[in-house]
Structure 1
């Protein structure tokens, strides 16, 4: 039997974004940018899992919420994710301001 140690893809992160402001996350390949952004939106699926801490968006602690509820109530209304291959994710008939 082979055992693997737990790997914390995102650890000790603290972000605060003022209302009306935009946050961009940049870093080297493999440093956890996408994992951080997707986790904020409730997109953590096995083998990824939430281990602790608080995710507070607009005064609501969403860290204990069901990921489906997070996506329904927060995604698009409060936060958005634009991946590196943005042309695969954005609607070309709308202006970019509609997504940020």
Structure 2
């Protein structure tokens, strides 16, 4: 379950990765959050992309896979909070949604 503070939960999760080699883990964590507590998804994703900006594209792709209808709202919130990754995450979502349309489940 998600802690009262998504920021605390994220830092606890990342700290558990002893060698700090957690690239790739952020997207997996984000998918779990979006599935279990979608109302916190944008907030947690924002913390993730602030903490691990090189994972921003993967994080929003995870969101798009979990809820393609909601992802654009989430990405808008993330981009407002972390403008440095706005272009990357918008491109990642566009690619993910295009792939989803080409290969519906």
TM range (shorter): 0.3 to 0.5
Q: Greater Rg, structure 1 or structure 2?
A: 1
TM-score, normalization by structure 1: 0.33
TM-score, normalization by structure 2: 0.32
More helix by share: 2
